[in-house]
Amino acid sequence: GQNIDQPTEMTATEGAIVQINCTYQTSGFNGLFWYQQHAGEAPTFLSYNVLDGLEEKGRFSSFLSRSKGYSYLLLKELQMKDSASYLCAVRDRDYQLIWGAGTKLIIKP
Amino acid sequence: IAGITQAPTSQILAAGRRMTLRCTQDMRHNAMYWYRQDLGLGLRLIHYSNTAGTTGKGEVPDGYSVSRANTDDFPLTLASAVPSQTSVYFCASSPSGRNEQFFGPGTRLTVL
């Protein structure tokens, strides 16, 4: 079967750095996505990795290791508005997205 | 319209009733998707359409049907609603199956 694993919840302090991990087992791999979802709202696209390595976009970075079936999302200089759920999704061999259950990130002052 | 719209925003429905959730996008995206999101579970794909005139089944298609008569609209129909279909439903679109997906605001459906 196909499986995406993420921690259910994480807590971090405003101004700090947090790393959200995602491990996956899928039938084929055609890229990994990270989305942000604020409570009661729609998911919004954050990042995309298809090759190994780090992709940086402002305060957010995403890393991929295909051989390990592993990715992480790194958030720097945390702000209160970063309190949200972060969803990891892998595109499988049929180009369908398989979604993790999401990691709820709580930012404390 | 800018992006994707869904209607209604929320709905309470009696079991056994028929219901159509509407989704419209104005980005001329070829691919469209319907997901349901339940607490503790990831988004689950119900149906998808790679281009107007074609549809496909996702992970959880039973009890749902879709049509794609044109590029912009992708309605989802529950023929006879059951309480297990209580969920938040998101419509999404992408330029093609190889791009990131853009999501509508969602429809919160409660079946009693």
Whether B45 sits inside 8 A of A48 (CB atoms) is: no
d(CA B100, CA B92): 10
- CA dihedral in degrees (A33, A95, B76, B67; nearest 10)? 150
Residue A87 in contact with partner chain B when CB distance is under 8 A:
yes
Q: Which residues of B touch A (CB under 8 A)?
A: 40-45, 48, 58, 90, 97-98, 100-106
Query: What pLDDT, in 10s, does the model give residues B25-53?
Result: 999 999 999 999 999 888 999 999 999 99
d(CA A92, CA B98): 11
Whether B58 sits inside 8 A of A87 (CB atoms) is: no
Whether A96 sits inside 8 A of B43 (CB atoms) is: no
The amino acid at A28: G
Distance (Å) from the alpha carbon of A49 to chain B's nearest alpha carbon = 11
Distance (Å) from the alpha carbon of A75 to chain B's nearest alpha carbon = 20
Q: What is the pLDDT of residue B60?
A: 96
Q: What is the pLDDT of residue B2?
A: 72
Residue A96 in contact with partner chain B when CB distance is under 8 A:
yes
d(CA B91, CA B81): 18
d(CA B91, CA B1): 15
Query: What pLDDT, in 10s, does the model give residues B86-109?
Result: 999 999 999 987 789 999 999 999
Distance (Å) from the alpha carbon of A42 to chain B's nearest alpha carbon = 5
Residue B57: CB atoms within 10 Å: 14
* Residues in chain A where the model's pLDDT stays below 50: none
- Does pLDDT of B1 surpass 80? no
Query: What pLDDT, in 10s, does the model give residues B71-89?
Result: 999 999 999 999 999 999 9
